[in-house]
Amino acid sequence: MSTPPTNDDHAHDEPVDENLPARDDLFANPGLPEHHWRPTDVDSKAEKRAERQVATLFGLSAVCTILLIVSYFVFEIGEDPDVIGGFGASNLAIGLSMAGMLLFIGIGIIQWARKLMADQEIVEYRHPASSSEEDRQAALAALSAGLEESGISRRPLVRNSLLGALGLLGLPAVVMLRDLGPTPNQVGPGKKVDYPGAGIEHTIWAKGMRVVRDVVGTPIKPSDLEIGDLVNAEPEALFNGGEDGEPLEGVVLQINKSKGAVVVVKMEPDNIIPGKGRENWSVDGIVCYSKICTHVGCPISLYERTTHHLLCPCHQSTFDLADSAKVVFGPAARPLPQLPLEVDSEGYLVAQAPFDEPVGPSFWERG
């Protein structure tokens, strides 16, 4: 045990900013408090008891380890995960025995440290973070000797050309990531990357394409809808591939779902305030809007039929479907794009024309 530090330790030999008052002590440092022996230090019964406690804890851990292995083989997996009071039997048994296995070791070691290991605090002296002045001078001397021998300051041509070459090394790190994907301009109809509905400005919607229910793909007749109904719909091409007749699948299907999804709602025709040039975009009070939020692109589907408001569950942007889907609340800045509707010769809802603007979140080149 080192001698308790005295008040002198508080003095500082480092240069002190003269704006700052000196560190001072009003009271003498009383020194480390007296060490008190624990019962386990002075009573061999208590010591033995603590020893037994620690060993018992380690023993309990071993028991839990065995329980873990047993429950691994005993309990069925693959059942509904809610069999025992909302928990899966296998998960519960393995998890609890694993917790016991680990906690008992941890508590045992800590108990050992608290009761049986030496509990006298010891003192160590600090050193300034900086090296000694001597070391610093030696290091600076070594540094300047090294730099001098390299001649880096005498040969600016070598130095600067090296710096230039090293600086350029950063470029390949960026350039070689180029093939991570096509540029926005390379994706689209007739471009390098082309597929049905390709391009950030386009969707698969085309004039005369049927609006079909999103899960089953069946077309919709205006008479199928009651006032207040909302139908989640998709372009028919997702199911029949348009002219090719092959249903879309894989990435192309996912991309088109993320752009082509629409909501179809029916309301009292008198409630609709048609936008300029959109007077004939509805059929019997049925209107159709992009389902993809213009904020950051979540699909929107929380519809309040009395107000005709559609609310995005991600960030609560609210659009008035009776009034060209204008934003009535929330962080979105633009109305949902509207799909002009008409009825085809068989009486099903179809698009009069594709969307007249890109769907989904804003982007720089959108204009």
Partner 1 sequence: MDTSKVATSNATTAATGKKPSRAGAIASWADERLGIASMAKKNLRKVFPDHWSFMLGEIALWSFVVLLLTGVFLTLWFTPSMGEVTYHGSYEQLRGIQMSEAYASSLRLSFDVRGGLLMRQMHHWAAMLFVASMMVHLLRVFFTGAYRKPRELNWVIGSLLLLLGTLEGFTGYSLPDDLLSGTGIRAADGFVKATPVVGTYMSFFLFDGEFPGESIIPRLYTIHVLLIPGLLLALIAAHMLLLVYHKHTQWPGPGRTEKNVVGFPMLPVYAAKAGGFFFVVFGVTALMGALLSINPVWKYGPYDPSKVTAGSQPDWYMGWPDGALRIMPGIESHFWGITISWNVLLPILVLPMLMFTILLLLPFIDAWITGDKREHHLLERPRNAPTRTATMVALMTMYGLFWAAGGNDIIAITLHASINQITYFLRAAVFIGPVIAFVITRRWCISLQRKDNDDLLHGYETGIIMRSAEGGYSEKHLPVAPSRAYTLTARDRDPVPNGHHEEVDANGLPGPAKGRLTGLRNRIRTVWYADNVQKPTPEELAAGHHHAEHEHELQGPMDGHAADGHQFDGHHLVEDEHLRSH
| Binders in 12-41 for partner 1, by CB under 8 A | 12, 14, 16-17, 19-21, 23-33, 37, 40-41
Residue 286 or 332 with smaller CB distance to partner 1: 332
Which residues fall within 8 angstroms of residue 248, CB to CB, at 6 or more apart?
Answer: 196, 237, 238, 241, 256
Find the binding residues for partner 1 in span 167-226 (CB under 8 A).
Answer: 177-178, 180-184, 187, 193, 198-200, 214
C-alpha distance across the termini of the chain, in Å: 76
Of 29 and 280, the one with the shorter C-beta distance to partner 1 is 29
The reply on whether position 251 binds partner 1 by CB under 8 A is yes
| Number of residues forming the site for partner 1 (CB under 8 A) | 126
Q: Using CB under 8 A, which of the segments 131-139, 156-164, 218-226, 294-302 binds partner 1? A: 294-302
Q: Is residue 291 part of the contact set for partner 1 (CB under 8 A)?
A: yes
The total of other beta-carbon atoms located within 10 Å of residue 151's CB is: 10
280 and 319 Cβ atoms separated by less than 8 Å: no
**Could you tell me the smallest distance in angstroms from the CB atom of residue 259 to partner 1?**
8
Residue 279 interacting with partner 1 (CB under 8 A): no
Nearer to partner 1, 38 or 278 (CB): 38
Angstrom distances, CA of residue 243 to CA of 108, 159, 206, 236, 239: 72, 65, 12, 11, 11
What are the CA-CA distances from residue 317 to residues 327, 328, 366 (Å)? 7, 8, 20
Rounded to whole angstroms, how far apart are CA atoms 234 and 212? 5
Which region, left, alpha or beta, applies to residue 246 given φ > 0 means left and ψ of -120 to 50 means alpha?
beta
Which one, 119 or 342, has the nearer CB to partner 1?
A: 119
Residues 47-76 that bind partner 1 (CB under 8 A): 47, 72, 75
Site string for partner 1, 84-123 (x = CB under 8 A): --xxx-xxx-xxx-xxxxxxxxxxxxx-xx--xxxxxxxx
Select 266 or 295, whichever has its Cβ closest to partner 1. 295
What beta strand segments (E) does 185-229 contain?
211-213
